Amino acid sequence: MRYQFIVQGRVSDAVAEDLPEMTCTSYPTGGTSLHGPVRDEADISSVLARIHDHGLSVVEFRSLPD
């Protein structure tokens, strides 16, 4: 499975280092898209927790076609 997590604002290098499995790209609305593979629902929860630990707000997340 692959997922996309859209967060408000720019992602710092520290966040990118904490989420090495995710690719970070600018999102057209000014946020950042983090996208990459996840194994299961527990992995999704882990990614969300790590994003929140860095003080970022998740605007949206969704599954992507493989």
Q: What domains can you pick out in the chain, each with its CATH number?
A: 2-64 (3.30.70.3400)
Strand order in the sheet with 32-37: 23-26, 32-37, 2-7, 58-64
Q: What's the whole-number mean pLDDT along residues 36-56?
A: 96
What's residue 10's pLDDT? 92
- Per-residue pLDDT band at 5 (split at 50, 70, 90): very high
pTM over 0.85: yes
Is residue 54 within 8 A of residue 8, CB to CB? The reply is no
Residue 29 has a pLDDT of 86
